[in-house]
């Protein structure tokens, strides 16, 4: 997918909307609307912190001034699934909690992404037990797995950056599903699938 | 403090039959005929020379080999006299019924439900005996020895539990329909996975019920399948705001059972890191409570202090949060060379941040209006609910395990136990702030006493030999192999070890059958007892205040649900 290249001079005139080269000549951007939207989306992720356990404490560290997730454009934490596009599952999910998590995931507007933070959310961790979900991918699709018990804040930051790269490349679960649906629709229209 | 003989004599006089005193053990134990239990409980609570006002813990134990398979175990404590006893009620498998003591101690409410949930012991007369930790579609009783630890049961959407009253419409005095509001389990103000269902008349709460168990991670079942030392990482994840205290509490209980003691240097380091953890816990509690009330800034200040403490813990143990630093018999490794310096730096840094926060908050009109007189509870009632720790001290009862039953040498340090007589949310805030200062003073004193020396006891049957010996000596290699594969052997017996956690009395009721793995570990989580009073405190309060009260209780889901 084409990456748009832009060079916008800060001192360009008020009426001139189009980007200019350093020598003053105008250029045009050719890209797909999807790519442009993805670039906007990846830089303004709105996380829903589904914090259940110890990882939620480390997630707080990531949000606070020391590590500061806002440097990556993802500081607008929203506790309503209607207002967020990144489900950040931080902590152990039990069988009792799983229906709640699924409902929140389903309530989120598309496009939506999921980061599974910590060993418990990824695999159940060392709780191989009668009341613990052995990895949230039993119930919802996961884009990025961040290992650790709990992961260091740096690891979570890396996970968020990785998700941003995936969004730009169109590799997240939602984007792949959408691409497959488009391909199927095209195939059905052309009649040569 | 009555001696064991005096307690036994007093009980024997009132109950000549049906109550048998057991000799030996860590605390005085009575085996009780179940029919007598409520009457005995009433006597123990009301007799002034006994005065067992605090029901610390109720749990069940499964002994499949015995004729009377189950045992209901009660731990009682007298704050006034400082003595402690244990009651045991043996029960047959085909008739696991015991009368509820909820009429004597309100604290029995959730503890009895838990024993019912996990072991299937039925408590006759309990008004709301249903599952508390496991979900409603769960089959069987997980802590029975014949329950397969990996056996899960799926809960689907729509099968979740609802309070019966929440489904019924109800009108208020003016014939308007009242509203049922669900808070949680995923809610910004619940800090973890707690669920409260309230009925509102306007903005006033008229009915409330709490559901917990959303983070029940099967700690107790898991600990029965690991060796004594392997349990330590699990203890870190109980109260994950102050992990070191849990690990130390667990190790002290096991050490008491094994009859060993950590060397002085390890004790001092344990004390320093425990107090740092307490500071850390209180910082998060205060910060989160304020955050819920709309004051974001102090949370940022508090978290800065927390980050500084993290860096010290990371230097000692390698982990930031779940450090697994304590070991049975001492510590995993020695502290780094610059430990004293970096802690001294913390001692300068944290008070400044706390002072900044206090300047913003303690006299703040909005904060005081939101918290003074909100969530008020009397000391007597708090004790009846089983409260301990800062919340109980906020109601004017000066019970602190560090003072009443010192461990780690607390008796040799100079510190005060702050109390507040108001018993409201503001009082609990003030107690926590003062406790931070007392903890910092304790750390300062302890730093001066830090002497070089070993950091783990020389007990080869429980403690791993040093790595250099494992690689060079045959015997050390054999011990290493045995300890890793089979686990260190702890003599058969039982101990109720209790320490002052950040939320109150943190109890570990540890039973060993002499093997390399615990036979049963029951944690007495302080916030479990505190939180069960919450729905009752909400009645008559405004719905917005429920958030303020919850924040001041410092409920940590990992410890609550285990």
Q: Name the nearest CA neighbour of B238 among B281, B275, B272.
A: B281
In this structure, the number of other CB atoms found within 10 A of the CB of residue B168 comes to 9
- Predicted pLDDT of residue A165: 92
A chain contacts of residue B185, beta-carbon cutoff 8 Å: 97, 100
- Asked if the Cβ–Cβ distance from B218 to A103 is below 8 Å, we say no
Which residue matches tokens 């509490």?
B249
Residue of A nearest to B558 (CA): A53
d(CA B364, CA B9): 55
Edge to edge, the sheet with strand B70-77 lists: B19-22, B28-32, B84-91, B70-77, B54-62
d(CA A162, CA B207): 47
Q: Name the nearest CA neighbour of A67 among A139, A134, A154.
A: A154
B241: its two tokens: 């705001």
B218 min Cα distance to partner chain A (Å) = 6
SS3 sequence of B344-402? HHHHHHHHHHHHHHHHHHCCCHHHHHHHCCCCCCCHHHHHHCCCCHHHHHCCCCCCCHH
B32 min Cα distance to partner chain A (Å) = 33
Q: Which of B186, B222, B230, B240 to mutate to test the interface with A (most CBs of A within 10 A)?
A: B186
From first to last of the 562 residues of chain B, give the pLDDT tens digit: 678 888 888 888 888 888 888 887 888 898 988 888 888 888 888 888 888 999 999 999 999 988 888 999 999 999 888 889 999 999 998 888 999 999 899 999 999 999 999 998 999 888 888 888 888 888 889 899 888 888 888 887 777 778 878 777 777 777 777 888 888 788 777 777 888 888 888 888 988 989 888 989 989 998 998 999 889 999 988 888 888 999 999 999 999 998 899 999 999 999 999 999 999 999 988 988 888 888 888 888 888 888 889 999 999 888 888 888 998 888 988 899 899 999 999 999 999 988 988 888 888 898 899 888 888 899 889 999 999 999 999 998 989 999 889 998 899 999 999 999 888 999 999 999 999 999 999 999 999 888 898 888 888 888 888 888 889 999 889 988 988 888 888 889 999 999 999 889 999 999 998 888 899 999 999 999 999 999 999 998 888 888 889 888 888 888 888 8
- Predicted pLDDT of residue B171: 74
- Asked if the Cβ–Cβ distance from A129 to B147 is below 8 Å, we say no
- Predicted pLDDT of residue B445: 92
Q: How far is the CA of B562 from the CAs of A90, A131, B410, B435, in angstroms?
A: 17, 11, 28, 26
**Does residue B298 contact residue B263 with C-beta atoms inside 8 Å?**
no
**Does residue B556 contact residue B240 with C-beta atoms inside 8 Å?**
yes
Which residue matches tokens 């019970």?
B399
The pairing of beta strand B19-22 with beta strand B28-32:
antiparallel
d(CA B93, CA A63): 52
Whether residue A111 has a cis bond before it, omega within 30° of 0: yes
d(CA B115, CA B110): 9
B chain contacts of residue A149, beta-carbon cutoff 8 Å: 322
Q: Which helix (H) or strand (E) holds B558?
A: helix B557-561
- Asked if the Cβ–Cβ distance from A97 to B215 is below 8 Å, we say yes
SS3 sequence of B414-437? CCCCCCCCCCCHHHHHHHHHHHHH
- Predicted pLDDT of residue B429: 92
- Predicted pLDDT of residue A189: 59
ipTM of the modeled complex = 0.86
B chain contacts of residue A64, beta-carbon cutoff 8 Å: 299-300, 303-304, 307
Q: What is the pLDDT of residues A42-55, one digit of tens each?
A: 898 999 999 888 89
B chain contacts of residue A126, beta-carbon cutoff 8 Å: 222, 233-234
- Asked if the Cβ–Cβ distance from B214 to A96 is below 8 Å, we say yes
Task: Give residues with Cβ within 8 angstroms of B401, minimum separation 6.
Answer: B388, B407, B498, B499, B500, B505
Which residue matches tokens 């107090």?
B275
Residues paired with residue B85 on neighbouring β-strands, in sequence order = B28, B76
- Predicted pLDDT of residue A19: 63
d(CA A178, CA B435): 55
Helix segments in A13-152, DSSP class H: 33-42, 54-63, 98-107, 119-123
Helix segments in B147-263, DSSP class H: 219-223, 232-236, 243-258
Q: How far is the CA of B411 from the CAs of B2, B442, B445, B456, in angstroms?
A: 21, 11, 12, 22
d(CA B350, CA B438): 12
- Asked if the Cβ–Cβ distance from B160 to A99 is below 8 Å, we say yes
A chain contacts of residue B187, beta-carbon cutoff 8 Å: 79
Nearest to A60 among B148, B303, B557 (CB): B303
- What domains sit in chain B, N to C, each tagged with a CATH number? 4-124 (3.30.460.80), 219-561 (1.10.645.10)
Q: Strands, DSSP E only, in B415-515?
A: 493-500, 505-512
Q: How confident is the model at residue A20 (pLDDT cuts 50, 70, 90)?
A: low
Residues shown for chain B: 562
The pairing of beta strand A144-146 with beta strand B54-62:
unpaired
d(CA B440, CA B340): 14
DSSP string for B229-283: GGGHHHHHTTSTTSHHHHHHHHHHHHHHHHT----HHHHHHHHHHHHHHHHHHHH
d(CA B151, CA B158): 22
A164 min Cα distance to partner chain B (Å) = 25
Predicted confidence (pLDDT) at residue A5 exceeds the cutoff of 60: no
pTM summary value: 0.89
B321 min Cα distance to partner chain A (Å) = 7
d(CA B13, CA B503): 37
- Asked if the Cβ–Cβ distance from A126 to B234 is below 8 Å, we say yes
Q: How confident is the model at residue A11 (pLDDT cuts 50, 70, 90)?
A: very low
Residue of B nearest to A65 (CA): B300
B chain contacts of residue A91, beta-carbon cutoff 8 Å: 215
What phi and psi, each to the nearest 5 degrees, are found at residue A127? -95, 75
d(CA A115, CA A118): 10
3-state secondary structure of B342: helix
Task: Give residues with Cβ within 8 angstroms of A125, minimum separation 6.
Answer: A92, A118, A119, A149
**Does residue B78 contact residue B17 with C-beta atoms inside 8 Å?**
no
Q: Name the nearest CA neighbour of A60 among B386, B48, B310, B463.
A: B310
In this structure, the number of other CB atoms found within 10 A of the CB of residue B1 comes to 11
Residues paired with residue B179 on neighbouring β-strands, in sequence order = B200
Q: Name the nearest CA neighbour of B240 among B482, B486, B478, B501.
A: B501
């Amino acid at each position: 997918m084409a990456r748009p290249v832009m060079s916008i001079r800060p001192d360009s005139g008020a009426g001139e909307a189009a980007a200019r080269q350093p020598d003053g000549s105008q250029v045009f951007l050719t890209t797909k609307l999807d790519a442009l939207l993805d670039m906007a989306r990846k830089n303004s992720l709105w996380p829903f912190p589904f914090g259940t356990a110890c990882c939620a404490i480390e997630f707080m560290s990531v949000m606070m001034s020391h590590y500061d997730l806002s440097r990556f454009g993802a500081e607008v934490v929203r506790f309503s699934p209607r207002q967020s596009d990144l489900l950040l599952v931080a902590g152990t999910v039990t069988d009792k909690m799983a229906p709640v998590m699924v409902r929140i995931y389903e309530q989120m507007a598309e496009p939506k992404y999921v980061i599974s933070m910590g060993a418990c959310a990824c695999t159940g961790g060392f709780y191989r037990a009668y009341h613990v979900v052995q990895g949230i991918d039993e119930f919802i699709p996961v884009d990025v797995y961040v290992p650790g018990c709990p992961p260091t804040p740096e690891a979570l930051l890396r996970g968020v950056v990785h998700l941003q790269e995936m969004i730009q490349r169109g590799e997240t679960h939602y984007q792949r599903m959408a691409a497959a649906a488009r391909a199927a629709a095209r195939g059905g229209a052309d009649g040569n699938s | 403090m009555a001696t064991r003989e005096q307690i036994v004599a007093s009980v024997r006089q009132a109950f000549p039959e049906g109550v048998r005193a057991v000799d030996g053990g860590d605390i005085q134990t009575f085996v009780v005929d179940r029919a007598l239990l409520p009457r005995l409980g009433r006597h123990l609570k009301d007799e002034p020379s006994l005065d067992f006002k605090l029901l610390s813990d109720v749990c069940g134990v499964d002994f499949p080999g015995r004729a009377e398979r189950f045992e209901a175990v009660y731990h009682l404590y007298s704050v006034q006299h400082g003595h402690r006893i244990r009651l045991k009620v043996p029960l047959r498998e085909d008739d696991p019924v015991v009368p509820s003591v909820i009429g004597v101690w309100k604290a029995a409410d959730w503890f009895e439900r838990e024993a019912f949930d996990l072991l299937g012991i039925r408590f006759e007369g309990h008004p709301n005996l249903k599952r508390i930790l496991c979900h409603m579609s769960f089959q069987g009783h997980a802590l029975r020895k014949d329950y397969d630890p990996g056996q899960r049961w799926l809960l689907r959407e729509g099968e979740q539990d609802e309070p019966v009253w929440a489904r019924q419409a109800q009108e208020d005095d003016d014939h308007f329909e009242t509203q049922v509001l669900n808070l949680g389990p995923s809610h910004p103000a619940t800090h973890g996975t707690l669920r409260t269902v309230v009925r509102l008349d306007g903005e006033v709460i008229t009915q409330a019920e709490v559901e917990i168990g959303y983070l029940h991670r099967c700690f107790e079942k898991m600990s029965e399948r690991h060796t004594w030392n392997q349990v330590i990482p699990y203890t870190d994840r109980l109260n994950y705001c102050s992990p070191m205290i849990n690990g130390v509490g667990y190790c002290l209980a096991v050490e008491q059972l094994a009859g060993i003691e950590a060397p002085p240097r390890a004790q001092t380091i344990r004390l320093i890191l425990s107090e740092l953890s307490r500071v850390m816990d209180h910082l998060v509690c205060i910060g989160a409570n304020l955050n819920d009330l709309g004051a974001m800034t102090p949370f940022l200040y508090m978290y800065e202090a927390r980050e500084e403490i993290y860096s010290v813990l990371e230097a000692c143990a390698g982990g930031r949060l779940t450090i697994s630093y304590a070991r049975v018999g001492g510590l995993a490794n020695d502290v780094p060379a610059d430990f004293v310096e970096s802690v001294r730096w913390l001692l300068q840094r944290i008070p400044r941040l706390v002072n900044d926060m206090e300047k913003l908050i303690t006299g703040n009109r909005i904060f005081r209006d939101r918290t003074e007189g909100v969530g008020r509870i009397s000391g007597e009632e708090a004790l009846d609910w089983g409260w301990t720790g800062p919340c109980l001290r906020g109601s004017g009862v000066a019970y602190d395990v560090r003072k009443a039953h010192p461990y780690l040498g607390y008796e040799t340090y100079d510190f005060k136990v702050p109390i507040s007589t108001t018993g409201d949310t503001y009082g609990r805030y003030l107690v926590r702030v003062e406790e931070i200062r007392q903890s910092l003073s304790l750390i300062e004193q302890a730093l001066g006493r830090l002497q070089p020396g070993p950091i783990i006891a020389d007990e080869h049957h429980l403690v791993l030999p040093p790595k250099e010996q494992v690689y060079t000596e045959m015997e050390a290699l054999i011990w290493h192999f045995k300890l890793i594969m089979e686990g260190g052997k702890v003599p058969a017996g039982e101990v109720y070890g209790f320490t002052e956690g950040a939320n109150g009395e943190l109890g570990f009721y540890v039973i060993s059958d002499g093997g390399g793995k615990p036979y049963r570990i029951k944690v007495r989580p302080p916030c479990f007892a505190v939180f069960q009073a919450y729905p009752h405190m909400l009645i008559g309060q405004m719905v917005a205040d429920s958030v303020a009260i919850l924040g001041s209780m410092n409920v940590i889901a990992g410890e609550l649900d285990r």
